């Protein structure tokens, strides 16, 4: 309608999407909101990655399956008759057992190995947890126990710009929970004794050891914290769709968030998640049709890649200094 013949394609790329945003602001706001919520969930997964990477230098590939495993434990426990909140505590307990055994069985014998070996070990852990999860809970998708955990459902809707914008209460809860958790982690890191020890380990393993911090203990704590983050992520994401092993692949979306934000930065994980979430939703809705749709699957990576070309260490990552 707007585009004149010789500039058809350029116009479709550079003009029409923005015109549509302006013309139908309700859809635009709805898209932004969806992106924001998706981004929050990516941030949560990325947060788990960052916690482990900071404290132990391990690129924890298993974070995605930990999300699935935590959510499955919760649903599985509830389905055999455990009250919802007791099941929540027990699921957290399972994550602690997992953290302890990972430290004992995987990390301790592999201490001082190159990064790629540790990465591969978490890869083995992923396989193991997929098999274990399917063996215990079965491979079919499950419904998250939203009502029993008193998570509000339904939608708030209001008029905006000539249309209606719908905000799922679930999504609002997810954002509130995510913010509370990030705030909690920030306080934990800066105010408590363990938090200080964690930061010391993140700075230098050797220096931390020399002032009497137990690395093994710290790793258990960090993996447990990552497990708790995984549990919360699993609940929120499970409530939005369902608890299934497909989540594990979706969790790979947290990787572009990581490189965007920097592997070692918690604020980076949050901001990166929001940029990726909004970017891919807006891209999919307004530019996706030009390419035949479905570009959500790789757009996030391309956004991250474009950022990387200008800042190789991510938005908030520490400057990479190399010595010869």
Partner 1 sequence: MLYREAGQFKTNYRADMAVFPILQDRIGVFLILLVAFAVIPFVGSNFFLHAIMIPFLIFALATIGLNILTGYTGLLSLGTGGFMGVGAYACYKLATVFPEVHILVWVVASGFVSAAVGVVFGLPSLRIKGFYLAVATLASQFFLSWCFIRIPWLVNYNVSNAIEVPRRSLFGIAVTGPDATPQARYLVVLTVVVAMTWIASNLVRGRIGRMWMAVRDMDIAAELMGIRLLNTKLLAFAVSSFYCGVAGALLVFLYYGSAEATAFSINQSFAVLSMVIIGGLGSLVGSFMGAALIFTLPILLPHIMAALGIPIQSATAEQISFMVVGALIIFFLIVEPHGLARLWQIAKQKLRVWPYPY
Answer yes or no: are the C-beta atoms of 210 and 32 closer than 8 Å: no
**83-112 residues near partner 1, rule: CB under 8 A:** 105-106, 109-110
CA distances from 187 to 136, 211, 266, 272, 293 (A): 36, 23, 12, 21, 42
Given the complex with partner 1, which of 2 and 324 has the nearer CB atom?
Answer: 324
Candidates 33, 189, 219, 263; binder of partner 1 (CB under 8 A) is 263
Part in contact with partner 1 (CB under 8 A); list of ranges 162-170, 201-209, 267-275, 296-304: 296-304
Part in contact with partner 1 (CB under 8 A); list of ranges 40-48, 86-94, 233-241, 257-265: 257-265
Candidates 35, 227, 238, 314; binder of partner 1 (CB under 8 A) is 314
CB of 135 to partner 1, least distance (A): 4
Given the complex with partner 1, which of 76 and 256 has the nearer CB atom?
Answer: 256
Answer yes or no: are the C-beta atoms of 27 and 205 closer than 8 Å: no
Size of the site for partner 1 (CB under 8 A): 50
Given the complex with partner 1, which of 18 and 119 has the nearer CB atom?
Answer: 119
Residue 70 interacts with partner 1 (CB under 8 A)? no
How many C-beta neighbours within 10 Å does residue 192 have?
A: 11
Part in contact with partner 1 (CB under 8 A); list of ranges 69-77, 213-221, 272-280, 289-297: 289-297
Residue 116 interacts with partner 1 (CB under 8 A)? yes
Site string for partner 1, 181-220 (x = CB under 8 A): ----------------------------------------
Could you tell me which of 259, 299, 260 has the C-alpha nearest to residue 279? 299
Given the complex with partner 1, which of 33 and 133 has the nearer CB atom?
Answer: 133
Answer yes or no: are the C-beta atoms of 167 and 153 closer than 8 Å: no
> Rounded to whole angstroms, how far apart are CA atoms 133 and 140?
11
Residue 259 interacts with partner 1 (CB under 8 A)? yes
Q: Which residues, 6 or more positions from 299, have their beta carbon under 8 angstroms from its beta carbon?
A: 279, 280, 283, 284
Residue 126 interacts with partner 1 (CB under 8 A)? yes
> Rounded to whole angstroms, how far apart are CA atoms 161 and 154?
22
Given the complex with partner 1, which of 113 and 157 has the nearer CB atom?
Answer: 113
Given the complex with partner 1, which of 113 and 153 has the nearer CB atom?
Answer: 113
CA distances from 53 to 4, 60, 149, 158 (A): 52, 7, 31, 42
The separation between CA 173 and the C-alpha centre of its own chain, rounded to angstroms, equals 16
> Rounded to whole angstroms, how far apart are CA atoms 295 and 292?
8
Length of the chain: 324
Residue 315 interacts with partner 1 (CB under 8 A)? no
Candidates 35, 38, 256, 283; binder of partner 1 (CB under 8 A) is 256
Q: What is the dihedral of CA 248, 250, 255, 256, to 10 degrees?
A: 170
Candidates 130, 149, 167, 213; binder of partner 1 (CB under 8 A) is 130
Could you tell me which of 79, 55, 54 has the C-alpha nearest to residue 144? 79
> Rounded to whole angstroms, how far apart are CA atoms 264 and 88?
29
Binding site for partner 1 (CB under 8 A): 59, 105-106, 109-110, 113-117, 119-121, 123-132, 134-135, 249, 252, 255-256, 258-259, 263, 291-295, 297-298, 301-302, 304-305, 308-309, 312-314, 322, 324
């Amino acid at each position: 309608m707007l585009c004149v013949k010789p500039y058809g394609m350029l116009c479709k790329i550079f003009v029409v999407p923005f015109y549509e945003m302006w013309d139908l602001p309700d859809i635009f706001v709805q898209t932004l909101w969806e992106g924001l919520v998706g981004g929050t969930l990516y941030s949560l997964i990325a947060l788990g990655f960052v916690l482990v990477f900071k404290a132990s230098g391990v690129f924890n590939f298993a974070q995605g399956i930990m999300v699935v495993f935590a959510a499955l434990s919760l649903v599985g426990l509830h389905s055999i008759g455990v009250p919802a909140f007791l099941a929540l505590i027990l699921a957290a307990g399972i994550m602690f057992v997992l953290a302890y055994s990972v430290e004992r069985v995987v990390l301790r014998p592999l201490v001082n190995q190159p990064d790629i070996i540790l990465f591969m070990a978490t890869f083995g852990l992923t396989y193991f947890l997929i098999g274990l999860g399917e063996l215990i809970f079965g491979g079919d998708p499950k419904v998250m126990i939203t009502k029993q955990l008193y998570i509000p459902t339904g939608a708030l809707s209001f008029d905006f710009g000539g249309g209606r914008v719908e905000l799922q209460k679930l999504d609002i809860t997810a954002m509130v929970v995510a913010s509370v958790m990030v705030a909690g982690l920030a306080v934990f890191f800066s105010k408590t004794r363990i938090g200080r020890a964690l930061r010391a380990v993140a700075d230098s393993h050797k220096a931390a050891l020399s002032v009497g911090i137990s690395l093994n203990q710290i790793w258990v704590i960090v993996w447990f914290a990552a497990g708790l983050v995984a549990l919360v992520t699993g609940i929120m994401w499970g409530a939005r769709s369902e608890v299934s092993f497909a989540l594990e692949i979706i969790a790979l979306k947290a990787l572009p968030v990581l490189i965007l934000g920097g592997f070692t930065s918690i604020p980076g994980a949050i901001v990166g998640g929001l940029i990726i979430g909004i970017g891919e939703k807006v891209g999919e809705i307004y530019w996706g049709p030009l390419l035949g749709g479905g570009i959500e699957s790789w757009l996030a990576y391309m956004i991250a890649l474009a950022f990387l070309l200008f800042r190789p260490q991510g938005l908030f990552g520490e400057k990479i200094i190399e010595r010869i």
